Amino acid sequence: MQNFIQAYSWINLRFLLEGLWVTIYVSAISVVLSFIIGSVLGIIRYMKIKYVSMIVGFIIDIIRNLPLLLIIFFMYFGLPSTFGIRLNTVGAAIVALTIFESAMLAEIIRSGIQSIDVGQMEAARSNGLTYLQALWHVILPQAFRNMVPPIVSQFVSLVKDSSLATIILLPELMYHSQIIYGQNTNYMIPMFIAMAALYFIICFLLSQLSKHLAKQLN
């Protein structure tokens, strides 16, 4: 019990919360960027534009089959040596997470659009709407209802995956926790419990948001 009391001193908790803020910051930016990019890529792949959709699909399949850790390593260590582009730890983590999650979301969005009956598009076109108008005003609103649960689930995975960026010394929750229990190994279990609780709170809130959105859309 004494170890828990010492581990959860105000100094340690404040340091842990600073790491949590970096986790939330990186995750939030990655969520917004990956949703925008993933939506565009998913729609392009669904539209079957000659050559373009095939190339986009090929790139998405490659990224989806790469380990996220490899992408993080490349963004931080590979870009400077290959292209002369140097990113700080936060920038490298955001770019890597955005690229990886965009590919995942693109498939979710494409499959969500495909789940809508073809007759919906045909009915919209027969009423004088162009293909893009029918897609935007008729298909996407219906498809989004089906996509909310898997999209939020992917966002939850993104939050947890951000801990992998500790390998490039991103000062997020996991990294700060390692520093704390690195000073005293007796703090390891208390820090693991604290991390589990904080990750659970974030992911639980995202899950509740998903349920609320699903109810509003239905």
Q: What is the mean pLDDT of the chain?
A: 88
pLDDT above 90: residue 171: no
pLDDT at site 128: 83
Distance CA 35, CA 109 (A): 10
CA torsion sign for 14, 16, 17, 19 is positive
pLDDT band at 5 (very low <50, low <70, confident <90, very high): confident
Where residue 21 falls among pLDDT bands split at 50, 70, 90?
very high
Whole-angstrom distance, CA of residue 212 vs CA of residue 194 = 27
Closest CA to 176 of 6, 72, 21: 21
**Percent residues over pLDDT 70 in the chain:** 99
Nearby residues of 42 by Cβ (< 8 Å), 6 or more positions away:
105, 106, 107, 108, 109, 110, 112, 113
Look up the domain containing 23 and give its range.
Answer: 2-217
Condensed to tens digits (0 to 9), the pLDDT of residues 144-166 reads 888 888 888 888 889 988 888 88
Torsion of CA 37, 43, 47, 53, to 10 degrees: 30
CATH of the domain at 176: 1.10.3720.10
pLDDT, tens digit (0-9, with 9 covering 90-100), for 31-75: 999 999 999 999 999 888 888 999 999 999 999 999 999 999 999
Can you say whether residue 146 is alpha, beta or left, with left for phi > 0 and alpha for psi between -120 and 50 degrees?
alpha
> How many domains does the chain contain in total?
1
Q: What's the CA gap between 54 and 94, in Å, rounded?
A: 26
Distance CA 85, CA 73 (A): 14
Nearest to 202 by CA among 18, 9, 28, 78: 28
Residue-level pLDDT at 218: 66
Query: What's 166's DSSP letter?
Result: G
- What DSSP designation does 88 have? -
